[in-house]
A = this chain, B = another copy of it.
Amino acid sequence: MSKRFDDSQDATNTPSAKSRAKLAGLHSVEQSSGGYAPVAEFRRMTPTRPATMAEIAERAGVALSTVSYVLSGKRPVSEKMRERVMAAINELDYRPHGPARALASGASHTIALFMPSPLWQLLPIHQVFVAGATQATSASDYSLLLSTAATDPDTVAQVVARGRADGVILMETVLDDPRVERLQQDGSPFALIGRTRDTTGISYVDMDFGAAVELGLEYLARLGHTCVALFNFPPDLLDAGLTAAVIAQEVFERRAPEMGIRGVHLPCSHEPHEAFEVAARLLRSEPECTAALTTGWQFTGLLRALRAADLRVPNDFSVVSVIASQFAEMLTPSLTGIEWPAFEAGHRAAEMLIEQLTTRDAPTRQHLVPAQLAVRESTGPAPRGRASMPAPVIEPIGAG
């Protein structure tokens, strides 16, 4: 049924069998659909079929087109007519038919949001983007179409070309994103959460990951840490050229030495077991490392590895993560973070796109969220002497 996490679970040989059993254990009941019969009958007796514009026109004693113009306001209609039409609309509780309107006008009043490709890589942050976009979309009286399969430029393009949506929002963009190029070619409106190498004429909202890494490093340097790890986005995304990942690496490797920090760059998935492994290896091989920066949810595995190694946060080890505040505050200890206001980002991206759709010659809007540090409980001064402590023996803990 669901494939999420399956591969990683198989790889680490963990609860995959368990979760399969869990699914099989779903308690199923089947009933004949007889229960619906009375309802169906009821319907047949009372033809509640929604009113059409033709019926409104008839009832109001006007032409079909007049009703349309009253509704759209695209041509002046006399007050008298307008009132008659509105009365009929209210009496019959008329609502326009979506697809018909879309077909005739060529605009579906819908935007599509594409989820990052491998769906099982879904991060909490992505979901918050979605929530923000949903909110903004509803507020502007648009609809939101949620799709997977974001990798294929064709799929993305077709959604607009075939009238399902008027524009799209893309996330997890890479430096030279084929989807973006395709959309530009087609002249399809779009907005990004993230950005590309060349952002000329492209509307986007993105976190300034370069500034984020820099700010995190500065802060940790000030606390006296001299060896810091960066848990960057996973290798596959880095290789794919994920803009955020590339920038983070570049800045990290350039700035850390300048601040007198030994930097350890670790591309690493957010999957708890993998992040745990990576972190455990780090703690073993780099005893001087006393702090880490994470670009996402790699901190879950890191925190467990620290616990397994009997290292206390923040006394023995400091953790800074790029993260939405609602998540940072959910944890105990709460996480010091570079704020990534994801809900607002999703909201803004949808707004930008809708602005493009509703106003001609809309300006290109580019929002780069500046790095802001929120100091919470997971960071402290660099400890002395961890380097001289015996290398820890680390074993997985808990359900892992």
Q: Which residues of A contact B (CB under 8 A)?
A: 1-2, 4-5, 15, 19, 22-23, 25-36, 39-40, 42-43, 48, 50, 95-100, 102-103, 108, 110, 115, 119, 122, 124, 127-128, 130-132, 134-135, 138, 143-149, 158, 161-164, 184-187, 200-202, 205, 208, 272, 297, 300, 303-304, 307, 325-326, 328-334, 339, 341, 343-344, 347-348, 361-370, 372, 374, 376-377, 397-400
Contact = CB atoms under 8 A, between A and B. Distances in A.
Given A97-B162, A99-B103, A36 B201 contact: yes
Given A26-B344, A377-B399, 20 more contacts: A1-B344, A1-B348, A23-B341, A23-B344, A26-B370, A27-B368, A30-B364, A31-B363, A33-B362, A39-B184, A97-B162, A98-B163, A99-B100, A102-B102, A134-B147, A138-B147, A138-B148, A297-B330, A304-B334, A329-B400
A339 B22 contact: yes
10 contacts: A4-B343, A25-B372, A29-B366, A35-B202, A50-B161, A95-B161, A99-B99, A100-B163, A115-B134, A334-B399
Nearest to A102: B99
Nearest to A369: B26
Which of A43, A187, A339, A376 neighbours the largest number of chain B CB atoms within 10 Å of its CB? A187
A186 B31 contact: no
Nearest to A208: B27
Contact of A134 (B31, B119, B200): B119
Given A27-B370, A367-B26, A376-B398, A19 B325 contact: yes
Given A40-B187, A50-B162, A95-B158, A2 B135 contact: yes
A26 B187 contact: no
Contacts of A31: 200-201, 363-364, 366
A15 B272 CA distance: 30
A131 B122 CA distance: 8
B130 A138 contact: no
